[in-house]
Amino acid sequence: MADRFSGVHWMLATPFKENEELDLDSIGNLLEKAHQSGCQGVVALGVTGEAARLTDAERRAVAKEVIAHANGRPVTLGTTAAGTSATIAYSREAQELGAAAVMISAPPMGKPNPDSLFTHYRRIADAVDLPIVVQDYPQTSGVHMAPAFIARLAEEIPSVHYLKLEDPPTPIKITAIRAAAGDDLAIFGGLGGMYLLDELARGSAGAMTGFAYPEVLVSICRAMAEGDKAQAEEVFYRHLPLLLFEFQEGIGVGIRKYALQQRGLIANARVRHPGPQITEETRREFRQLAASVGLE
Distance from C-alpha of 168 to C-alpha of 174, rounded to nearest angstrom:
10
Residue, of 108 and 264, whose pLDDT is higher:
264
Cα–Cα distance measured from residue 43 to residue 13, given in angstroms and rounded to the nearest whole number:
9
Q: Which pLDDT belongs to residue 206?
A: 98
Q: What is the DSSP letter of 6?
A: -
Q: What is the pLDDT of residues 169-187, one digit of tens each?
A: 999 999 999 999 988 899 9
CA–CA distance, 107 with 121 (Å, rounded to integer): 10
CA dihedral sign, ordered 17, 282, 276, 143:
positive
**Position 110 pLDDT exceeds 60:** yes
Mean pLDDT across the chain, nearest whole number? 96
Amino acid at 28: G
Alpha helices in 183-271 (DSSP H): 196-201, 214-225, 229-246, 252-262
Integer Cα distance of 115 and 57 in angstroms = 32
Would the pLDDT of 158 be above 80? Answer: yes
Output the pLDDT for position 2: 40
pLDDT at 71: 87
pLDDT, one tens digit per residue, over 199-221 is 999 999 999 999 999 999 999 99
User: Is 140 a residue whose pLDDT tops 90?
Assistant: no
Give tens-digit pLDDT for 17-73. 999 999 999 999 999 999 999 999 999 999 999 999 999 999 999 999 999 999 899
In this predicted model, what pLDDT tens digit does every residue of 226-268 receive, in sequence order?
999 999 999 999 999 999 999 999 999 999 999 999 999 999 9
> What pLDDT score was predicted for residue 201?
97
pLDDT at 1: 38
pLDDT number for residue 227: 97
Instruction: List, in order of start, the domains of the chain with CATH numbers.
Output: 7-226 (3.20.20.70)
Is 284's pLDDT higher than 50? yes
**Torsion angle defined by CA atoms of residues 142, 147, 152 and 158, in that order, rounded to the nearest 10 degrees:** 90
Report pLDDT for 3: 67
DSSP state of 152: H
Alpha-carbon gap, residue 58 to 203, rounded angstroms: 37
CA 22 – CA 195 distance, rounded (Å): 32
Percent of residues, the chain, with pLDDT higher than 90: 93
